[in-house]
Structure 1
Amino acid sequence: MTEWTDEYDVVVVGSGGGALTGAYTAAANGLRTVVLEKTGLFGGTSSYSGASIWLPGTQVQERARLPDSTELARTYLRALLGDAEAERQDAYVDTTPALVAFLEQNPNLEFAFRAFPDYYKAEGRLDTGRSINPLDLDPADIGELADLVRPELDQDRRGKGHAPGTLIGGRALIGRLLAAVTGTGNADLRPNTDVTEVVVEDGRVVGVVATHNGNTVRIKANRGVLMAAGGIEANDAARAEHGTPGRADWSMGPIGANTGDAIAAGVAAGGATALLDQAWFCPGVAQPDGTAAFLVGIRGGIVVDAAGERFLNESLPYDQFGRAMHAHDESDSGAWMIFDSREGGGLPGISIPNTAPADHLAAGTWLQADTIEGLAAATGLPAEALRASVESFNGFAKTGVDESFHRGEDPYDAFFCPPNGGANSALTAIENGPFFAARIVLSDLGCKGGLVTDVDGRVLRADGSAIDGLYAAGNTSASLSGQFYPGPGVPLGTAMTFSYRAALHMAG
């Protein structure tokens, strides 16, 4: 029998939005709970996010008087995903109203609707979106807990703490959840605790082995272990093994944190895996230090391949953009975004982090020239093809119709685009020199393959039987959305929902 260092009812591995939702649910239901975080800060990739959360048909949408419902959301998922994972699709949308009602009973947890369109034109879609967001948070409201929240991506990569002012987006979500978890008086937070294995006795998972400040600890879990610690995004060896496009350096997860340890521990306990070649893809702006910045909200310019030709609608939702790069074999070599000086030499899109143009130009990740032909020479692109691509696009900008890739025809395309005086705000001519080329690579917001789970987050063996006492959610589990990214906040929404269901299953 294992000699235990500590004993709890529930052990939660990870500290993102899903993990902390599970921890709060367990603790609020009377279960002694511990949250084990590998690093010194809580929140993981969730803290970097804008914290749109795809939790449809809830009281938040009702307050905003949206025409949303559980059935409409179910219709949208079915239209997009088909009958694959139908049981988990149903469990997801059927649970979200109760989840949000439960969370909002806690004064620390407040949400509001913020418009952001669903990503696919399919029956049940809402062009305004249906995602909800946590309210911004004054760090003074949560005291010392604010120091435990992982800062925004740019600050974190530079080794700095939070910028002065309000916590927004993912930082607000994590701060609020930490306050809710600790406010139960029934939970402990343990940073710098790296789980290396789960302990199985008589076919049941009964605890974990971890390293804490150089010491080995064995923590008993009387009710269960919830693995919600990210995917394999920061592990190049695992990505190569499973054929996951992109690179660890280009991923948006905390550098070095999400290496698939929780997935490996679940596999060692007998868990099956799926979708390990998949990720929540996005275009990334190549950075001077070899990393990438999340690119979203493109409002100008075009993207061309090595032949100097456009190959996609540049205003696509980011996952579809990334998949188009991979399908066009631009996963490793990257592509070029061509834009002009209309915004003072700045990128016509949102780059997170937003490195100064001068730093890009000095490093060679951006190139500049007075003419399109000069830009072609600088990048090595065929001058005639690049000139033709720009002239063709400029013609589309005048007519308002992108005859090649239909940019601007979907509500998402124009969501980030201010009026430009033309018929299509997503089409703005490239004509004001000097001109710029920014290297674009295939990035991701995390990998979406992992342990196979059921409707209650229980980890399943290859034969479909559940491993008693072991649960998984978020990017540690295989996503129900397969190769699709249905709408803003589906990664967070599914992580929170199935962590909630897992905790209720343990409490039950």
Structure 2
Amino acid sequence: MATLEHSVDLIVLGSGAGGLAAAATAARRGLKVLVAEKAGQFGGTSAISGGAVWLYGTDQARAAGAEDSPAAMRTYLEHVIGDGYDPALVDAFIEHGHQALRWLEQHTELRYSLRPHSPDYYPDAPGATQFGRALEMVEYDGKHLGPRFKDLKMPPPGMLLFGGMMVNRVDIQHFLNLRRSPGSLWHCLKLMARYARDRLHHPRGTRLTTGNALIARLATSAFAHGAQLWLRSEALELIVERGAVTGVVVQREGRRERVLARGGVVCAMGGFAAGALAASYRPALGVSHLSMSPCSNDGAALRLGQAVSAAVGEGLAANFFWAPVSELRHAGGERERFPHLVTDRAKPGVIAVDPSGRRFVNESDSYHHFVQTMFAKGIANCWLVCDAEAMNRYGLGLARPKPVNNQALIDAGYLYRAATPQALAQAIGIDPQVFATTLEQFNSDARNGIDRAFDKGGNSYNRYMGDPQHTPNPCLAPLASGPYYAIRVHTGDLGSACGLVTDVNANVLDRNAQPISGLYAVGNDMNSMMKGTYPGPGITLGPALTFGWLAANHITARLQAPTTQTETHACTTN
């Protein structure tokens, strides 16, 4: 069959936050935009993320009186990033991040609110703040997507309630408190009533939160201004004319289609964490590593970019954004993964032990730091352990708190339960005597609210992640009431940090540090400005929105310049 040919102003490869920010911006500015997504649904990793962004100087932060400055932001990032600190990218992020958010909120459906208290992940480092940089997504009604709602990537079942109800950070706290607070009970009853109504007409709840709401808001705006979306469309090769990238060859519905793009190509395909390439970029600890990236995030941008001599990041502190992940194997063979980010590790009555039965980490530190420690100590997998009190109040992984019956998870071999610590140790294959000593030492400290071994609950970020109603330390309680529970947790990641090297406009650079005309990279396809560190919540999505917006602006400006119009016309008429 003959190859079909199409012509647009901009083609965006991928449909995560960075790609859709570029698409929505370009479409709103009048460009003809095509979004090509390899998977059968759109949204990528962003759709199943927490949806938070980490930015300096937003209108929301200023309105709340947050104390911050560009100098403090630079100091903090320089301290956390270390040798990989790139002043140009950091300055662009600081200067334009809040501008990007303001523009997107004024011209698209995007809406964020400030987290009233959200310390940076290293709250005692110079330049750190206790609040003001982290914003969270405002909920959204998925019905605004119309027929496209069915194509929005749905979070894994374990991240939903009742099979299809989304909840955000505030909702989770209300569910944890519903037996202790009439206000929380009323909040939860309203959510459940809304969900019940939705299920009369939809396969899941239409109240979208977190990353699902982020993607839905951007996509609705892009579609409203004429952007097209192709699903199941794989980018095969870039079209290059006179040294400039002028389009892409796409495999779609069994045929090759050439898409010529006057403004170029934005790579936003989610990185390479799920592809075969990933193993060569990770520390070698066996084959049990689990990624939360969709299987379509297989490194296509690196392959396309390297074919045109694009530079790839080197020397990052980590090539991935780490997170501990557990996995449930269903009876039918399906595997469901759960990232242990906010719901369990930091809570009182929960500890992590290595295969010998010893604690090895501050469980309430960030998920990235938790897995960094696993790699540093050669631990491929560990155990999260809690007692009955913690299980009843907070749950553990996919296991839900009281009154949910978690027997199915026990039967599936995901959740272990035993009447005594000794029996639990035997069930999960750790030394009972070592485990008993671990519990004795931890419980003694926990009763006094101080963890002498690893300082769990020792800083403001730790305590923010704990239970604010538990005293004297929101993160510490002895494991003293049976039965006892455990879940095996593996090293895992939320996506890759290493990517194509770009300038401040997200324009990809070649191996001589020169911009490749017409080629851009955003999101996890862009070599992370954080260089494999994790300074705070939303440090992937904040830059994704910022540089997606900057890329679209740069492309628009190029197309509007008279000389660029002439040159681009010459390229696309071949």
**Which of the five TM-score ranges fits, normalised by the shorter chain?**
over 0.9
> Equivalent pairs: percent with the same residue?
33
Residues 239, 245 of structure 1: 8 Å contact kept: no
Q: How far apart are the structure 2 equivalents of 1:20 and 1:162?
A: 25
1:366 aligns with 2:390: no
Q: For residue 17 of structure 1, what is the aligned residue in structure 2? A: 17
Aligned residue number for residue 175 of structure 1: 216
C-alpha distance 373-159 of structure 1, shift in aligned 2 (>3 A): closer
Which SS does the other structure have where 1:330 is aligned?
Answer: coil
> CA offset at residue 348 of structure 1?
4.5
1:119 maps onto 2:121 in alignment: yes
Give the C-alpha shift of residue 424 in structure 1: 1.2
The residue number in structure 2 matching 1:72 is 72
Of 272, 275, 279, the match for 1:232: 272
Q: Assess, with a 3 A threshold, how the Cα gap between structure 1 residues 178 and 41 changes in structure 2: closer, same or farther.
A: same
**Partner AA of 2:113 in structure 1:** A
- Does the Cα contact within 8 Å between 1:282 and 1:294 map onto a contact in 2? yes
Q: What RMSD, in angstroms, separates the aligned Cα atoms of the two structures?
A: 2.6
Give the AA of the match of 2:141. Answer: D
Q: Which amino acid aligns with 1:103?
A: L
Q: Report how far residue 416 of structure 1 moved.
A: 3.1
CA distance in 2: counterparts of 1:24 and 1:248, whole angstroms:
38
Answer whether contact 2:288 2:491 (CA < 8 A) is retained: no
Give the number of aligned pairs: 502
Contact 1:118-1:129 at 8 Å conserved across structures: no
Q: How far does residue 249 in structure 1 lie from its aligned partner after superposition?
A: 7.1
Among candidates 506, 528, 531, match of residue 482 of structure 1: 531
Alpha carbons of 1:461 and 1:292: their partners in 2 closer, same or farther (altered >3 Å)?
Answer: same
Over 3 Å counting, the alpha-carbon distance change for 1:162 and 1:258 in structure 2 is: farther
**Is 1:338 matched with 2:385?**
yes
| Distance in 1 separating the partners of 2:73 and 2:326 | 33
How far does the alpha carbon of each residue in 1:96-124 deviate from its partner, in whole angstroms, 9 at most, with x for none?
12111211112522221124321113222
Indicate yes or no: 2:135 matched with 1:132: yes
Q: In structure 2, do the counterparts of structure 1 residues 156 and 429 end up closer, same or farther at CA, with 3 Å as the change threshold?
A: closer
Cα–Cα, structure 1 residues 70 and 184, in superposed 2: closer, same or farther, change >3 Å? farther
Match of 1:198, as an amino acid? L
Ranges in structure 2 where 5+ consecutive residues have no aligned partner: 165-201, 558-574
Matched, 1:154 2:153: no
Deviation at 1:135, TM superposition (A): 1.4
> Any residues of structure 2 matched to 1:371-410 within 5 Å, and which?
371-410=420-459
Change (3 A) 1:244 1:499: farther
Task: Using the TM superposition, give the Cα deviation of residue 345 of structure 1 relative to its aligned residue in structure 2, in angstroms.
Answer: 5.8
Contact kept in structure 2, 1:17 and 1:46, CA below 8 Å = yes
Partner of 1:189: 229
Aligned AA for 1:136?
E
Q: Deviations over 1:425-465 (max 9, x none)?
A: 21110010111221011111111111111111111122212
Is structure 2 residue 192 aligned with structure 1 residue 145?
no
Q: 1:244 to 1:60 in 2, by over 3 A?
A: farther
Deviates more, 1:19-28 or 1:385-394: 19-28
| Secondary structure at the counterpart of residue 485 of structure 1 | coil
Question: Contact 1:295–1:351 (CA<8 Å) still a contact in 2?
Answer: no
State the match for 1:265 in structure 2. 304
Cα distance in 2 between the residues matched to 1:116 and 1:350: 22
* TM-aligned CA distance change 1:230 to 1:353, over 3 Å: farther
Q: Distance in 2 between matches of 1:153 and 1:349?
A: 16
* Whole-Å separation in 2 of the counterparts to 1:457 and 1:361: 47
Equivalent-residue separation in structure 1 for 2:325 and 2:394 (angstroms): 12
Q: Which amino acid counterpart does residue 118 of structure 1 have in structure 2? A: D
Distance (whole Å) between structure 1 residues aligned to residue 472 and residue 158 of structure 2: 39
- Partner amino acid for 1:65? G
CA distance in 1, matches of 2:405, 2:281: 35
Q: What secondary structure does 1:75 align onto?
A: helix
Going from structure 1 to structure 2, the CA distance change for 1:76 and 1:371 (only over 3 Å counts) comes to same
How far apart in 1 are the matches of 2:398 and 2:505?
37
Distance in 1 separating the partners of 2:25 and 2:265: 14
Q: Is the 8 A contact 1:284 1:293 kept in 2?
A: yes
Instruction: Please give the TM-score of this superposition, normalised by the length of structure 2.
Output: 0.82
> CA 1:293/1:129 → structure 2, altered by over 3 Å: closer, same or farther?
farther
* Distance in 1 (alpha carbons) for counterparts of 2:9 and 2:390: 55
The 5 A counterparts of 1:246-325 are 250-254=290-294, 256-275=295-314, 278-289=319-330, 290-297=335-342, 298=345, 299=347, 300-325=349-374
Q: Is contact 1:293-1:352 (8 Å) kept? A: no
CA distance in 2, matches of 1:175, 1:211: 25
Task: Confirm or deny: 8 A CA contact 1:40 1:191 kept in the other structure.
Answer: yes
Looking at structure 2, the residues matched to 96 and 21 of structure 1 have their Cα atoms a distance apart, in angstroms, of 12
Distance 1:329 1:507 in 2: 48
Q: Compute the displacement of 1:409 (Å).
A: 1.0
Alignment-derived partner of residue 200 in structure 1: 240
Match of 2:185 in 1: none
Quote the residue 2:261 is aligned against: 221
After TM superposition, the structure 1 = structure 2 runs for residues 406-485 of structure 1, keeping only pairs within 5 Å, are 406-419=455-468, 422-485=471-534
Show CA shifts across 1:378-426 (max 9, x none). 1221111100001111011112111111111111112232256542121
Q: Aligned equivalents of 1:11 and 1:30: distance in 2? A: 14
Quick one: structure 1 residues 245 and 479, their matched pair in 2 at CA, closer, same or farther if it must change by over 3 Å? farther
Which secondary structure state, in structure 2, belongs to the residue aligned with residue 296 of structure 1?
coil
Give 3-state SS (helix, strand or coil) of 1:141's partner.
Answer: helix
Structure richer in helix, relative to its length: 2
Matched position secondary structure for 1:67:
coil
Distance 2:34 2:385 in 1: 49
TM-score, normalization: structure 1?
0.92
* AA aligned opposite 2:98: P
Pair 1:27-2:27 in alignment:
yes
Which residue matches 2:194? none
Does the aligned pair in 1 maintain the 2:498–2:532 contact within 8 Å? no
SS of the aligned residue for 2:139 comes to coil
Tell me the amino acid that sits aligned with residue 133 of structure 1: E
Gaps of at least 5 residues in structure 1 are none
Q: 1:344 to 1:109 in 2, by over 3 A?
A: closer
Structure 1 counterpart of 2:569:
none
